[in-house]
């Protein structure tokens, strides 16, 4: 038997009834969104039936995530069509979702990296992030997924073996190239075979990934060298390419 008190209501009562805070109602008054129909001599706000209807409209629209500004425009002037506003607003929400989804993906990938390299310092954390964002520039999402998937299946020891192999091969190739050795010479061919094997293992035979890696190295060469140690330069790609043709 809720004895519904008749209007006019004071802020506190209205707040309780509608589940709003008194401060919010004050705010709506301040910005002219919901100005109470009357006030007592002492200045207390008194809301009438019409105000309450308006407040319910406001609450409904706010539930849809519409800003107070837009709510006001919608209620006060039917200059904007509801349908159009909903569409625009929905588009904004979808954009937000897409952004947050991308963020969540990055964070999840980051968490995986942190798990594998535990005891990570802030520097490690940041360089992983940097590497990830750099990779995002050059690889498609699927390619990144493929690489991530493959990485999880590789043991840390093997990872180090591969690193060591590159650290051995790259300087060797540079030396041969600088010495003007024929790319088709047996020594260079041996290097090319090892090179090709390493690349194939990394790319899984996917030529697109191989190309992406090359363009990444070409653009980010100096920056990567600091982090990875030994990085092939474009002329080395050319040189070893000749050797591979002679295989």
Partner DNA sequence: CTTGATCCTCACGTCGCGTGAGGACCTAGC
Partner DNA sequence: GCTAGGTCCTCACGCGACGTGAGGATCAAG
Which residues make up the interface to a copy of itself (CB under 8 A)? 56-57, 60-61, 63-65, 74-75, 78, 82-83, 86-87, 89-90, 93-94, 96-97, 100-101, 103-104, 106-108, 110-111, 114-115, 118, 120-123, 125-126, 129-130, 133
Please tell me whether residue 24 binds DNA under the rule CB under 7 A: yes
Select 70 or 201, whichever has its Cβ closest to DNA. 70
Residues 6+ apart with CB under 8 A from 55: 14, 18, 20, 25, 28, 34, 47
Length reported for the chain = 247
Q: Which two structure tokens, joined as six digits, stand for 212?
A: 């992406």
Closest CA to 193 of 235, 230, 245, 143: 245
Q: Taking CB under 7 A as the criterion, which residues in 65-94 touch DNA?
A: 67-69
Indicate which of DNA, a copy of itself, none lies near residue 100 (CB less than 5 to 8 Å, by partner kind): a copy of itself
Identify the sign of the CA torsion 247, 159, 139, 137: negative
Please tell me whether residue 62 binds DNA under the rule CB under 7 A: yes
Select 27 or 174, whichever has its Cβ closest to DNA. 27
Q: Is 9 helix (H, G, I), strand (E, B) or coil?
A: strand
Residue choice 41, 63, 207, 247 for contact with DNA (CB under 7 A): 41
Select 125 or 236, whichever has its Cβ closest to a copy of itself. 125
Q: Is 118 helix (H, G, I), strand (E, B) or coil?
A: coil
Q: How far is the CB of 103 from DNA (least distance, A)?
A: 13
> What's the 3-state SS for 26-56?
HHHHHCCCCCCCEECCCCCEEECHHHHHHHH
User: Among 64-72, 81-89, 155-163, 238-246, which window interacts with DNA (CB under 7 A)?
Assistant: 64-72
- Dist. CA 46–CA 37, nearest whole Å: 6
Q: Which two structure tokens, joined as six digits, stand for 101?
A: 């989804």
Q: How far is the CB of 225 from a copy of itself (least distance, A)?
A: 14
Tokens 């996917």 sit on residue = 206
Q: How far is the CB of 191 from DNA (least distance, A)?
A: 47
Long-range CB contacts (< 8 A, 24+ apart) of 93-100?
Answer: 93/65
Please tell me whether residue 32 binds DNA under the rule CB under 7 A: no
Q: How far is the CB of 126 from a copy of itself (least distance, A)?
A: 4
Q: How far is the CB of 143 from DNA (least distance, A)?
A: 30
- Dist. CA 202–CA 162, nearest whole Å: 10
Q: How far is the CB of 2 from DNA (least distance, A)?
A: 17
Give the x/- contact pattern for DNA in 139-168, rule: CB under 7 A: ------------------------------
Give contact residues for DNA (rule: CB under 7 A).
10-13, 15, 21-24, 26-27, 40-45, 62, 67-69
């Amino acid at each position: 038997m809720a004895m519904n008190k008749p209007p006019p209501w004071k802020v506190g009562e209205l707040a309780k009834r509608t589940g709003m805070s008194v401060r919010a109602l004050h705010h709506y008054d301040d910005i002219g969104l919901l100005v109470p129909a009357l006030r007592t001599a002492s200045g207390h706000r008194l809301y009438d039936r019409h105000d309450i209807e308006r407040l319910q409209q406001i609450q409904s629209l706010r539930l849809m995530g519409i800003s107070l500004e837009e709510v006001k425009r919608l209620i006060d002037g039917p200059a904007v069509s509801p349908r159009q506003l909903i569409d625009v607003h929905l588009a904004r929400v979808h954009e937000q979702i897409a952004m947050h989804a991308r963020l969540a993906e990055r964070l999840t990938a980051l968490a995986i990296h942190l798990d594998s390299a535990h005891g990570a310092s802030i520097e490690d954390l940041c360089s992983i992030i940097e590497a990830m964002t750099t990779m995002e520039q050059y690889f498609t999402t699927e390619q990144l997924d493929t690489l991530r998937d493959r990485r999880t299946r590789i043991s840390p020891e093997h990872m180090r073996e591969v690193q060591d192999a590159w650290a051995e091969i790259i300087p060797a190739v540079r030396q041969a190239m600088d010495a003007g050795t024929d790319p088709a010479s047996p020594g260079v061919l041996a290097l090319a075979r090892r090179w090709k094997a390493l690349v194939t293992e990394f790319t899984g035979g996917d030529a697109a990934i191989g190309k992406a890696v090359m363009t990444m190295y070409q653009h980010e060469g100096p920056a990567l060298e600091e982090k990875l140690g030994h990085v092939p330069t474009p002329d080395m790609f050319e040189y070893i390419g000749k050797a591979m043709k002679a295989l």
